[in-house]
Structure 1
């Protein structure tokens, strides 16, 4: 009998209504923990790995989030920070990766890919600031390269953030907070007749933040979705638009803070940027008793102008080191999958095949600027790149206690670069990769199941690095890089519900990456690095001791090292050793609800020999809710409750302040926000 849960059956980028799961359900029927139906879909028998699961909207509503991107922190082991202005993509940490802005974690919103290859600021740039949390229905997450449906940027993991197509009732929410924080959201849906449903949402936001130079973040966001049908058969189409401008306070050197400079101050008050993103997407799906089919397509228009200054007066003392990274692109994509139930050697089986096609047409550049005025060009390129992926997998119930999944994915990337600044860096290239996958699911025994997962994954490299022959700053010759970088992972896992009210999972994992090559958008060149090995342990717990009380505890330990020998050392800079999140949520205590969360980001080496390390941070967030009427609720959020002096991010590199005679190697930090209070009134109609 096929499982009824769809945690693993969605091809990335294809949105809601995905194909049914690829696994075959365990015959033994289990009593599910109550929290699984309201907040999680992670019960025994529902996933293909211990590190895979689904988070429901009910949980998202119970905890505060300082920024939209922090919804990913509901994925166990993920930490989200910021090292610049809030209009810029967040910094993500998972499984010993400083994922930068998303290089090895693939994210999709409402069926649209968020990661942007060959981006002006960083490969796989994943800006989630267009997300409207009130529209999220669920988050389906997977960690590790074990899933045939996931392709580029998913070596460490991936997440599908799925929007609703209808709302229970129209809503309006107004949030006011310190430092001129103002947010207004309105959303609603209606029946248009003949089964048609229309959903619309608008978000407006302003925030100055704690910075001495006000951030002046202004954001406008809108979603319009038309849908018809049901989960069995139907279609939907969505139009989304987002625009933001901001002034940013970037990281500052520790020596300046120790000399009395305000840690919330700015060394270049003209840093900041503006961005916009609009998209049109559509999907059609059909499910029957014996299979499922899904087709989806999208088009995205994107713009970014980002102004940053991380070294101050190191390279250009007279004008300062500000530079601008600019990205203009259109993206077109198509995804299709078909799954069918059948028998294989007399055993129940399910097979799925799929295709994913993406084409980016990009104008990307790096320019020297002063007070946002261009004074020089480092790189200016037109890029065309296409990534085609096809996959197939079969799941077989080998025995009542054993399920097996075998998959194979094939990807081909084609790049064409027209360098307008230096024709020597123009050219065309291509690369391909085969990625086998294997999973075994054993049990359940005593409400406990076991997992063995292995697979190959990858992330693409910046197209400019695959054709470059000359360093754009120095003119020195450089080597071209491969278009696709492979990663091989394996995992042993366990999930149990043996204790009443508790869901607990344990995963021991390892991931080897062929090369830590990174395209440095700040320099316009590829920074060669070494192969790496990461291994770790994750322990995740959901406990419901009382119907009104939920306890979440997610703990992760990681050991990240370069795999080869070097006199410089073998530590991977910014690879954090430990992360943790513990939350206690009290629900429906009369008109009251409350949640307190402790969030820990551990220390990590900042240079290869481990002689300089980042500081760990522990912050506490609080949410109190009071239902005033059946249609009105007041919510108080307090971030960094105990006003701890911690940093969101720390780096170690050379910089030179105005007046300094020579460069200085130093820590550079971006402080976490101090205690921040916000009050939200939400009304239903």
Structure 2
């Protein structure tokens, strides 16, 4: 029934579009131009409007724009976050305009909500301007409503929570960097595993995100949402930095500009991080990151960037500990039952982006990437439940090669008085994971039993098309995507060479509508189908199961300015999954949980109380239920119910600083809520003062030194001295009061 209703909405949209009045003739001419900063950097998404009318447009990746109905003597007004508005009088409509914006202090009063391209991107841009990303943990926390949790010594990918999902390590959120996917399909530890630690925080330029499955250019794992990070093409200045904190925490950073001309930019960035953590058994955690990027514009107009990076990390971990062991004094909150957990991982990337202007207001864009990745993880979640003599330690390992590309053609046109943007694209992603295995081990050195081992070969070929029609105060965005998957698996544990294969395709329609009530009020409605793919081994071993379960979503919301310097957003949303069915790498088994339904509300506020003082608040409430379980036993374990993030940031001359609060409410840890994962409230603080060329900084995590559990699971386990197993909360404690000092030299 719900599939029928969704299809009905999409068909109704196309009918509405067909009934739009026949376009008339707009007086004036089409004017082209380019919006850029004083340094010559093109500005994507600048708002260009014709003064005294509703005519407007946005700049593209090149900073280029096309606006209709302009006459000699007309004035174009251009606004962009963090820059002074610019007014340009059109002297010759046939001449190409060059609009240069001057940077200024950040003023929310200058924001124009009307026809904001992707409404949540505005929220992201505000947050990055007010409080730039400073740590790897903050990278994902920039997405409103997204919570993370580390539970394996700092080196493992974080646990993610968004829109009523315990996303594990990325099953229901698509993450990418410079067009290169971060999620790993058919990963040794779990489907969609997304380790973002190869991204140096200070290199992040833009964060593009959206919630729900409404975007034709985003495919696998885009159910709860997506996040795309864009790294900087150029450095405004070079810098070296040193960060020192308690728990033997030490970080160095170097970012050096190698080339900075009008059409060429190149820089390198390097990071080293070490920390023992607050645990009684040292984490011995280290991370190395090296990155280089070269970008520019060739004489033929081809715009390009080439990124190369290498990341490696190693760590020990105390793992998740049972509440009973802490309660009876066997261990402390920062102790361990098995401190031989840990792992190592590395990733080497090469990514190329190309784009070029074409005739008749169009451009093409392409990206290609190649990654070498390896992973090894030792864990013990149940201690002595399965093996009372040797313990239950497991080892997960894989070596992967990842290759892919995507290209798209984009065209802006006017159909009479209707502004239209058309885009078509296609791409391929190919994963080859060799030696993908799960074993029972002892003390990391002895293999007791190989449970699963083989080679995964998975390919995803896809195509998408979408359009944007600007009809008066309405904007309509239909979209359609097709994905084709090919799964292959060679089981090393079978005596005969017997490769298994399977293919499957999926069509996912999308549709959004926006009503621009005024420059300060925008209403939106979205609906669409998304999906997350299953692990190759699940697809081939459980052929009767759904291979690409659908996610049906709808959003109804608004973004508006209740006050001149306040931007608010609110969304009521709904999401139904045909099957929450994923491969559990920790056990090498399949865990189907049937159909689920989630709905809730997202609310956000951005307020500039004074020229130098900014406040942000994000609140979410979600109701998540299984549709195939009896009432009272239909809760979805670890699904967040209430979350709140609030921050107060100051930017005054050479001083920047802020205080940030994170609240995650109690939530069920099992289906009947007999086991509860306790909520927490944590306050963090940071302050920086710039006395050029030096910058001094101070960061305090958990300012109030509260006891909080960063990750929690309802787990059945048995300790060495126990006769019977116990199911209860197992947790990783959150960081206690931690202070770090930062010194940076800019040149």
TM-score, normalization by structure 1: 0.91
1:636 aligned to 2:698?
yes
2:332 aligned to which of 262, 269, 274: 262
1:427 aligned to 2:500?
yes
Give the equivalent residue in structure 2 for 1:608: 671
Give the equivalent residue in structure 2 for 1:484: 548
| 1:28-47 correspondence runs (5 A) | 38=106, 43-45=112-114, 47=116
| 1:117-132 correspondence runs (5 A) | 117-132=185-200
Give the equivalent residue in structure 2 for 1:321: 392
| 1:198-347 correspondence runs (5 A) | 198-229=266-297, 233-260=302-329, 261-287=331-357, 290-344=361-415, 347=418
Give the equivalent residue in structure 2 for 1:158: 226
Shift, 1:64, TM fit: 7.4
Shift, 1:195, TM fit: 3.5
With over 3 angstroms needed to count, the CA separation of the structure-2 counterparts of 1:22 and 1:169, relative to structure 1, is closer
Give the number of aligned pairs.
Answer: 665
Give the equivalent residue in structure 2 for 1:475: none
Shift, 1:63, TM fit: 6.4
Shift, 1:498, TM fit: 3.8
8 Å CA contact 1:492, 1:509 repeated in 2: yes
8 Å CA contact 2:282, 2:316 repeated in 1: yes
1:70 aligned to which of 116, 138, 152: 138
Shift, 1:50, TM fit: 4.3
Cα distance in 2 for partners of 1:18, 1:117 equals 30
Q: Deviations for 1:277-331, whole angstroms, at most 9, x for unmatched residues? A: 0011111112467122101101000000000000000111111100001111000
Q: Which moved more, 1:261-270 or 1:669-678?
A: 261-270
Cα distance in 1 for partners of 2:264, 2:340 equals 48
1:416 aligned to 2:488?
yes
Cα distance in 2 for partners of 1:22, 1:568 equals 55
Cα distance in 2 for partners of 1:123, 1:6 equals 34
Cα distance in 1 for partners of 2:230, 2:352 equals 13
Give the equivalent residue in structure 2 for 1:14: none
Shift, 1:25, TM fit: 11
With over 3 angstroms needed to count, the CA separation of the structure-2 counterparts of 1:606 and 1:423, relative to structure 1, is farther
1:504 aligned to which of 560, 568, 575: 568
8 Å CA contact 1:121, 1:325 repeated in 2: yes
With over 3 angstroms needed to count, the CA separation of the structure-2 counterparts of 1:169 and 1:416, relative to structure 1, is same
2:433 aligned to which of 358, 362, 367: 362
1:678 aligned to which of 737, 740, 746: 740
Q: Deviations for 1:3-25, whole angstroms, at most 9, x for unmatched residues? A: 988569xxxxxxxx858899999
Cα distance in 1 for partners of 2:182, 2:514 equals 31
1:451 aligned to 2:524?
yes
2:454 aligned to which of 381, 399, 419: 381
8 Å CA contact 1:22, 1:394 repeated in 2: no
* SS of equivalent residue, structure 1 residue 55: helix
With over 3 angstroms needed to count, the CA separation of the structure-2 counterparts of 1:309 and 1:33, relative to structure 1, is same
Shift, 1:197, TM fit: 2.3
With over 3 angstroms needed to count, the CA separation of the structure-2 counterparts of 1:257 and 1:64, relative to structure 1, is farther
Shift, 1:35, TM fit: 6.5
Work out which of the two has the higher radius of gyration on C-alpha atoms and give 1 or 2.
2
With over 3 angstroms needed to count, the CA separation of the structure-2 counterparts of 1:406 and 1:63, relative to structure 1, is closer
Shift, 1:238, TM fit: 1.1
Give the equivalent residue in structure 2 for 1:441: 514
Give the equivalent residue in structure 2 for 1:528: 592
| 1:133-152 correspondence runs (5 A) | 133-152=201-220
Cα distance in 2 for partners of 1:614, 1:19 equals 48
With over 3 angstroms needed to count, the CA separation of the structure-2 counterparts of 1:206 and 1:39, relative to structure 1, is farther
With over 3 angstroms needed to count, the CA separation of the structure-2 counterparts of 1:426 and 1:36, relative to structure 1, is farther
Cα distance in 2 for partners of 1:25, 1:116 equals 44
- What's the RMSD between the two structures over aligned residues? 2.9
Give the equivalent residue in structure 1 for 2:102: none
Shift, 1:148, TM fit: 0.6
Shift, 1:344, TM fit: 4.4
1:175 aligned to which of 243, 261, 267: 243
Task: Give ranges in structure 1 of 5+ residues lacking alignment.
Answer: 9-16, 470-478
Q: Deviations for 1:439-467, whole angstroms, at most 9, x for unmatched residues? A: 11001326101001001111111000011
Cα distance in 1 for partners of 2:649, 2:241 equals 22
Give the equivalent residue in structure 1 for 2:165: 97
Shift, 1:493, TM fit: 1.0
Cα distance in 1 for partners of 2:123, 2:324 equals 44
Q: Which moved more, 1:197-206 or 1:306-315?
A: 197-206
8 Å CA contact 2:318, 2:340 repeated in 1: no
1:371 aligned to which of 437, 440, 443: 443
Structure number with greater CO (CA < 8 Å, separation at least 6) is: 1
Give the equivalent residue in structure 1 for 2:642: 578
With over 3 angstroms needed to count, the CA separation of the structure-2 counterparts of 1:194 and 1:26, relative to structure 1, is closer
Give the equivalent residue in structure 2 for 1:619: 682
8 Å CA contact 1:619, 1:640 repeated in 2: yes
With over 3 angstroms needed to count, the CA separation of the structure-2 counterparts of 1:561 and 1:538, relative to structure 1, is same
Cα distance in 1 for partners of 2:545, 2:379 equals 26
With over 3 angstroms needed to count, the CA separation of the structure-2 counterparts of 1:86 and 1:175, relative to structure 1, is same
Task: Give ranges in structure 2 of 5+ residues lacking alignment.
Answer: 1-29, 36-42, 47-59, 85-105
